[in-house]
Amino acid sequence: MNPTALEVAENATFQTFVNCYLREADSGAWHSGSGWAERRVLGGLFHGIGVIELRLKGLRGRLALDVGYRSLIGRHRILSAWVNHDSSDQWSPLRPLDAVLVLVRELYDPGMADHRQREQELELVYRLVESCQLMARFIEARADDHTLEGERFIESEQSLLYGHWCHPTPKSRQGMSFWQQDHYAPELAGQFRLHCFAARRAWVRQDSLLERSAEALVLEVLGEVGLSQDEVCIPVHPLQAQWLIHQPQVRQAIEAGDLRDLGAIGPEFTPTSSVRTLYSDHSPWMFKVSIPVKVTNSLRRNQVSELRAGVIAAKLLEKSGFVVRNPQFSVLTDPAWLTVEFPQGGESGFEVILRHNPFIGGERRGVQSIAAILQEPLPGRPSRMRTLIEGLALREGRNVSDVALDWFGHYWHCAVDALIRLYDEQGIALEAHQQNSLLDISAGYPSQYYYRDNQGYYLADSYREHLCELEPQARYSEELYYSEEMIRDRFGYYLILNQLAAVIHRLGADGLADEARLLKQVRTWLSDMRRDLKGAGLRLVNHLLEQPELAYKANLLTRVQDVDELTAELELAVYTRVPNPLREPVADSHKESADDGIDLARAEAIHGA
C-alpha cells in the first residue's frame, strides 16, 4: 500500500532531523545489524546494513536506528527507530515523528531547563510540526503533477517538496498563514501581482550599474502606474505590504501625502525556491523582496548593505573578466536596487533588489536547481539524478557507473573547479550551497553553472588592494570583507559539505557510483589544482586536503538556540566541527562505543557566533 502524504512527510522530517542530530549532537555507536539485533532477540525486525545506538539521558534508555544506507559524506538512510526505557531489555518501535520528539527532549536537559530554554524547545517543536504539516500538504497537492520533473527554470524552483536536505525544519514558515500558502508558496506555484507604493522622490534611495535607473527598470516591467514627477514606484511583496501599512512611520507618511498605496499592479509573478525572489515569464528582472516570514533560520528581509553588495559584486565580476574567460561559469547578478529611506534612517521594509532573469519566456530550458536535481524522490519513483544518468547510459550504450563518473567530472569543471579558481584569482568567494546553484543539464551532462544570491559574497581581506583597484567603490563595502580563515570555514562548508557532498551522496544512494571512489577522485582533482593555484585558493585547497576536521553549519543547533543567522553578529549561524571526508584516508567518524552521551559543548560557535 502506498504511504499517505503525511506518512511521507513524517519520514522525510525524521530523516533530516536524525541526520542533523548524528552530525551535530551525538554520532552514536555503530554495530553490525544482524549481530546487534540477534543479541537483543530482535532478529528479523532489523533489515538494514547496521545499527546506530544512541544513549538517552532523559529516558535513561537508548534509541536504536536501523540503517539502510550509510554515507561517507552525506545523509544516512534510516529504516526505523526503536527505543528502550530505564536500560531494560525491552525494545519498542517508534513512529518517525515520535522518534524526533524523543530526540528534541534529549537536546534540552530537563534538569537544567530555565524559562528561556523551555521557550526555545517549544519554538523548535512548533517549527517541526509546522514544517511537517506543510510538507505533507505540498506532497499531496503535487504528487501527480508532471511539472515536478519539468525542464523549465521555474518548474525546477517550485519542485522542492522536501526542502533543505540537512535542516530540521526545512519547510517552516512562521508568518505565512495556512491559507496564504496557496498564493505565496513556491511548492504550490501560486501567482500574484506586486503591491506598489508611490514614494516621495526625496525619500527614495536607488542605484543601478546599468544605463537605466532602478526606477526606470521597475516601470518597464509594471507599465503605467500613475505617478507624479515627484514620485517613484516601489514594488513590494503583498505580505510585506500588509505588514508595512501597520507600521507607524508608514501610516504617518501616507497621512502626510509622502507615500501613496497604489495596490496590486503589473504582471503576475510566482515565487522561486527562496519564497521571496519572484519570477515572471514576462519580466527581464526577478524581484528579491522582503517578507515578514521566518523561513528556516531567519526572518527574510533585505538589508541596505546587501543591496549595495549586489551592485558592487556585479561590478567586480564584470571588471575581473572571470566569467568571459570561463564560459562554463555564470552569475545571476543583482545590478539595481531601490528603497524608501525615512527621515529616521535604517531599513524601512521597502528594500527591493532587481536580479537578471535570463529565463524570461521559458528560455534556457534545462537549467535546473542543483537542490532539485539531488532531491529525494517521492516513494516508488526514481530520483531526477537517476533518471538523468540512466537515460544518458541508454542513449550512449554505456555502463551506468561510467556515465555517472563522466557526469561528475562535467559537474566538477563547471561548478567546484570554477568557484575555487574565482576565489584564487580574485579573492571572491561565493556562498554556493545547493539552492543558490543552478546547472544547465539541457544536454544531459552539466555544461554551465549559475550562481545567485547577493547575501552570499565574501571578499578576502588579503585581496582588498586588488579589489579596490578593480572597483573603487569596493573600499566602501567594509561588511563584505572577511579573513581568509573565516572564508575557509564558510566557503568550505557551502561548497564542499553542502553542495559537493550532496552530489556525491545522491550518486551513491542511487547506486550510480561508489562514494569512496568519488571522494578519491575529488582528492586527485584538488591535488592537481595545487599546481595552478597561487593565492587564497591554494590555501583553501591545502586546508581541505590536510585538516582533520572542517567547519560545518549546525542547522539543528542553530534552531535549538533559536538563532536568526541574518541578524546575528557577522550573520553567523552556529557552527561545529566534523571529521574531514576529503582527508586521506577516509576516516570512519563514528564511535565504536555508546558510552558517551550528548555533549552540546561539542558544538562551537566559530568566530563568536
What is the CATH classification number for the domain harbouring 388?
Answer: 1.10.510.40
Q: Are residues 189 and 83 part of one domain?
A: no
Does residue 587 fall inside a structural domain?
Answer: no
Q: Are 50 and 70 in contact (CB under 8 A)?
A: yes
pLDDT of amino acid 345:
80
Q: Are 214 and 339 in contact (CB under 8 A)?
A: no
In angstroms, the Cα distances linking 303 to 162, 209, 259, 352 are 28, 19, 21, 9
Does residue 589 fall inside a structural domain?
Answer: no
Q: Are residues 502 and 522 part of one domain?
A: yes
Domain count, the chain: 3
Q: Are residues 229 and 169 part of one domain?
A: no
CA 384 to centroid of chain Cα atoms: 18
pLDDT tops 60 at residue 298: yes
Confidence of residue 454 (pLDDT cuts 50, 70, 90): confident
pLDDT tops 70 at residue 110: no
Q: Are 417 and 446 in contact (CB under 8 A)?
A: no
Cell of residue 122, nine digits:
517549544
Confidence of residue 452 (pLDDT cuts 50, 70, 90): very high
pLDDT tops 80 at residue 607: no
Q: Rounded distance, CA 507 to CA 535, Å?
A: 32
Q: Are residues 243 and 170 part of one domain?
A: no
Q: Are residues 467 and 356 part of one domain?
A: no
Confidence of residue 338 (pLDDT cuts 50, 70, 90): very high
Confidence of residue 585 (pLDDT cuts 50, 70, 90): low
In angstroms, the Cα distances linking 244 to 290, 293, 524 are 11, 13, 53
Percent of the chain predicted with pLDDT > 90: 79
- Indicate the residue among 360, 375, 401 that finishes a domain: 360
Q: Rounded distance, CA 385 to CA 390, Å?
A: 8
Does residue 561 fall inside a structural domain?
Answer: no
Does residue 607 fall inside a structural domain?
Answer: no
Q: Name the residue with cell 543601478.
A: 208
Q: Are residues 120 and 56 part of one domain?
A: yes
Q: Which residues of 428-465 are buried (b: 16+ CB within 10 A; e: fewer)?
A: bbbbbbbbbbbbbbeebbbbbbbbbbbbbbbbbbbbbe
pLDDT of amino acid 420:
99
Which of 55-69, 438-452, 463-477 is the least confident region?
55-69
Does residue 136 fall inside a structural domain?
Answer: yes
Q: Are residues 137 and 6 part of one domain?
A: yes
pLDDT of amino acid 587:
44
Does residue 551 fall inside a structural domain?
Answer: no
pLDDT averaged over every residue in the chain: 91
In angstroms, how far apart are the furthest CA atoms of the chain? Answer: 82
Q: Are residues 486 and 452 part of one domain?
A: yes
Q: Are 214 and 207 in contact (CB under 8 A)?
A: yes
Q: Are residues 4 and 146 part of one domain?
A: yes
pLDDT of amino acid 42:
74
* Burial of residue 400 (number of CB atoms within 10 Å: 0-12, 13-18, 19+): middle
pLDDT of amino acid 596:
38
Q: What angle do CA 10, 14, 16 make, to 5 degrees?
A: 120
537: enclosing H helix or E strand: helix 536-546
Please give the residue range of the domain that contains residue 75: 1-174
Does residue 104 fall inside a structural domain?
Answer: yes
- Listed in sequence order, the residues at least 6 apart from 506 whose beta carbon sits closer than 8 Å to its beta carbon are 74, 373, 374, 383, 385
Q: Are residues 527 and 446 part of one domain?
A: yes
Q: Are residues 259 and 235 part of one domain?
A: yes
Which of 34-43, 375-384, 586-595 is the least confident region?
586-595
pLDDT per residue over 515-531, tens digit each? 999 999 999 999 999 99
Does residue 572 fall inside a structural domain?
Answer: no
* Burial of residue 92 (number of CB atoms within 10 Å: 0-12, 13-18, 19+): exposed
Q: Rounded distance, CA 410 to CA 521, Å?
A: 13
Q: Are residues 380 and 502 part of one domain?
A: yes
Taking residues 141-148, report their average pLDDT.
Answer: 93
- Listed in sequence order, the residues at least 6 apart from 440 whose beta carbon sits closer than 8 Å to its beta carbon are 364, 366, 367, 446, 447, 448, 449, 450
Position 390: which residue type?
Answer: E
- Indicate the residue among 360, 390, 425 that finishes a domain: 360
- Indicate the residue among 174, 193, 209 that finishes a domain: 174
How many residues belong to the chain? 609
Taking residues 412-420, report their average pLDDT.
Answer: 98
Instruction: Provide the whole-model pTM.
Output: 0.93
Q: Please provide the DSSP assignment of 442-489 as one string.
A: TTSS--EEEE--TT-EEEEGGGHHHHHHH-GGGGG-GGGEE-HHHHHH
